[in-house]
Structure 1
Amino acid sequence: MYYYKNMKKRKLMVVGPVGSGKSSLISCLNGKGMDAKKTQSVLYDTLSIDTPGEYLENPCMYKYIIAEAQSVEYVLFIQDAMQRRCIYPPGFAQSFNRKTIGVITKVDTESVEVEHSQKILQTIGVKGPILKTSSKTGYGIKELKEYLGIE
């Protein structure tokens, strides 16, 4: 019981497919630029929880993603602007009792599919805003930080 009462609540958790830019986004939000590498397991820092993309590829892992979300204020659902594939199950964001935000990453690339990415995030049930970002150029990072109340 003592453990749960004294758990520090993190600000956010990122959920998204492999290679969608989750770790790069967290690095930018932490002010570290694009200092990211492949996430092999759930990573915790003072601001965030970074979930591996492989957790979305295995429906048996959904319960762990949902359980991890209990210790955050926001769940950010990430969709790569270059990907047309939707790996999320329909309505997945509605499984979370936290504030949900859609984040479209890699909007600085040539073949972006922003409208398609927005539709994917709407289909999974994201209730909050859908923001566009680029960890490479910093586009949209300031706005996302302001929305989340980070610095």
Structure 2
Amino acid sequence: MKKIILFGRSECGKTTLTQALRGEKISYHKTQYINHFDVIIDTPGEYAENRSLASALALYSYEADVVGLVISSIEPYSLFAPNIVPCVTREVIGIVTQIDQPEGNPKRAEEWLKLAGCEKIFYVSSYTNEGVWQILDYLKEDGDVMPWDNELHK
């Protein structure tokens, strides 16, 4: 499976998405440092929010195959500069989180991700699992056997 690193501001849903992608029970956990999991690298939002810490994201992105730019549907602004995607030497996807929030605006978040340069964009609710399997399927490589693949073969 391709390894993904998640970038985004604090409270945009990176850690919750990580829990959903790993099939874990959702619980609040403030990410204090870079967390390496099997195929997911979860980063603190402060790294994207502070210029002095942002260079760490560039370094850690070399350990991943895919960079996921994460924007919540309830965010009032985007941290990502227009046309930033070409600056990364990895494949970049956009992820809109919290699509189940009534006050959310997923289309606005999508436009911000497009402006940043994302061509492939996923819409996710980590609580309802909507869109989670699509990300896992996207990260799947030839020869990977996913849990749902085993269910199909029984």
Choose which of 71, 82, 98 in structure 2 pairs with 1:106.
98
Unaligned runs of 5+ residues in structure 2 are 147-154
Find out whether 1:48 has 2:36 as its counterpart: no
Choose which of 132, 135, 138 in structure 2 pairs with 1:141.
132
Give the alignment's Cα RMSD to 1 decimal.
Answer: 1.7
State the TM-score, normalizing by the size of structure 2: 0.85
Whether the 8 Å contact between 1:79 and 1:105 is mirrored in structure 2 is yes
Number of the residue aligned with 1:4? none
Whether the 8 Å contact between 1:33 and 1:135 is mirrored in structure 2 is no
Unaligned runs of 5+ residues in structure 1 are 1-8
CA distance in 1, matches of 2:99, 2:30: 20
The within-5 A match list for 1:109-120 is 109-120=101-112
Number of the residue aligned with 1:57? 49
How many Å apart are 1:21 and its aligned residue? 0.4
Find out whether 1:31 has 2:10 as its counterpart: no
CA distance in 2, matches of 1:28, 1:115: 22
Choose which of 61, 68, 76 in structure 1 pairs with 2:60.
68
Find out whether 1:78 has 2:70 as its counterpart: yes
Which structure 1 residue ranges, 4+ long, deviate > 6 Å from structure 2?
Answer: none
State the TM-score, normalizing by the size of structure 1: 0.87
CA distance in 2, matches of 1:140, 1:78: 13
Distance 1:50 1:145, change over 3 A: same
